[in-house]
Structures are given as structure tokens and as C-alpha cells.
Structure 1
């Protein structure tokens, strides 16, 4: 459709002529929809945006004056600006730095790290007080995840003996760590 015809339709739409608006929609909507789809990247969003754009055109047709501006350019600008506005609305707003000062960075603090290192040393010291095979069995059970059966086979002892080793080892560790 020629720009002159679009200009005349926009002028009649500014007078709230519904038939002209319907014709303008039929003629301009494919191009405006393509603009919305390209910017928004989602068909449903583009369809919603197109409806909003034509509401704006209905409301603002009187602001278009054929003083040398291209009617198709004006329509495309309305569509483009609205699609960009919708895109901006979807982006999360930047947070105020004062509002996020308490967010954790996910890393342990130096105090926490020092505490963990100290606890690790205490556990190592207590583990050294156990019989070597008991300490080894505790590590394999609670660090490596071996079952009682696997440990009993590995150390060549009956299953109940292995359970006793682990139980006594844990009691001695608890006693040592509480001291």
C-alpha cells in the first residue's frame, strides 16, 4: 500500500473512523507484526504487542501530521518503540547497591575457614589416638563410604567385630573432641 494511502487512513483514524482503522490494521499489521517478532523473539509476545500498538495508533493518530514524514515510517517507529519498551519491562531491574550489601558471595569467610582448619586439626589429633586399623576403618566408612560388609572383608574380621570397631572408635573420637 502506498504511503499516501496509509497517510489518508491515519488521518481518518484520527477522526475515530472505525472502518479506516480496520483497513489500516489489515494493511499495516503484517509489517508491524514482523517488527515486533524480530525484536521480541516470541510469537505470543509479538501478538500481544501488536494489539497494544494498534491501541496506541488509535489513540495517537491525531499526532501524526503528514508534514513530510512517511506514514509507514511513523507506524514502524510506534511498533519498534513499543516492542523495545516491552523488552525492557521484562528485564529485571537493577538492584540498588544498598539493598544487596548483605548478599553472601557463597564462599566461606576467613573466620569460617580458620574454624574449619582448626576443627580438622582437632579431628586429626583425635584420629591419631585410635589404633591405626580402627582409624583407617573410620576414614573408609565415613569418608569413602564403604559399607560394614566391605570393611569386614577388607580387614578380614567378622561383620560384628567391624561394627564394634567403628562404634568404639566413634565413642573415643567424641570423648576426645569434647575434651
Structure 2
């Protein structure tokens, strides 16, 4: 926040990267439409950039201050559309701040995780059965190489080779997917 107040573009970029997923989820909860939430978030970060010098740490935490700006921008969008909500502002703020402080993944992280999971599943399916089985036992069931060898009734050297080759194929496949 201090860097943004000094008009440091890199500091502002870091602030955006660290806070935008939560703030986007907050805007999305109010507006219920992805494109409107994006608009509110963009408007909010323009305001944050211009007002960062007026931020007072003694009055509110940075995330609380930024959430209030996002909330106001989202409500402005609703008002312009003639859809101003009939809400208990105090209760709404409590609920929103509880959600912002939640350490679970936000909508953007959940989408990224599901995209990565689908890509991993496709790449795993492309492996030979023996490689897929060895990697699955080692990484998804948290077994050591010797435990995998014991489970599959194979020499440990064979298991290590299957896992190494399978991981190399996964790496290549995931790289093709941009991951």
C-alpha cells in the first residue's frame, strides 16, 4: 500500500496480484455477473491507485479499506442499472468481511485449480497403465518407491524407472497445456 501511495507501479502491481482475487469474489457476490464484477474491480483499483496516498492504517486494515471501495463501486453499478439492493448494510459488511478473511480459494483460484486438475487428468490418462498406476500409488497415496514396488510385486528399479519416465511424460504433456 505504501508503494502504491508513492506511485510505484510495481508495488501497485504486487498489491493487485495479492488482493484482486478476493476483491473480485467480493464484487461477484454483490453483482452476480462476471463482467459487472470485473468492471467494479477495475473501477475500484483505479480509485485505489488515486487514493492510496490518503489511506490511513490507523482507521482500517488495507484489505478492509479496499473492500469498502469495491463495495461502493459495485453498489454504484447496481444503482446505475436501477437494481439498488435492499440490504442491511451493517450485516452485509460483516458477512463480506468474514468472506474476505476466509483463507480458502477464491473464484479465480478455484477456476485455475479445476483447469489444472482437468489437464492433469488428461495427461495421466495418456500415460501407460503401469506408469499411471506407479505414479498414482506414489503421489496420490503417498507411498514410497519401495512400498509401490511391494504393492505391485515388482523390483524397485522397475518402479523407479516407470515413475521417472511417467513424470517426464507428464511434464511434457502439461507444458503443452501451458501449465
Structure having the higher Rg: 1
Would you say same fold, with TM above 0.5?
A: no
Interval containing the TM-score (normalised by the shorter chain): 0.3 to 0.5
TM-score (norm 2): 0.45
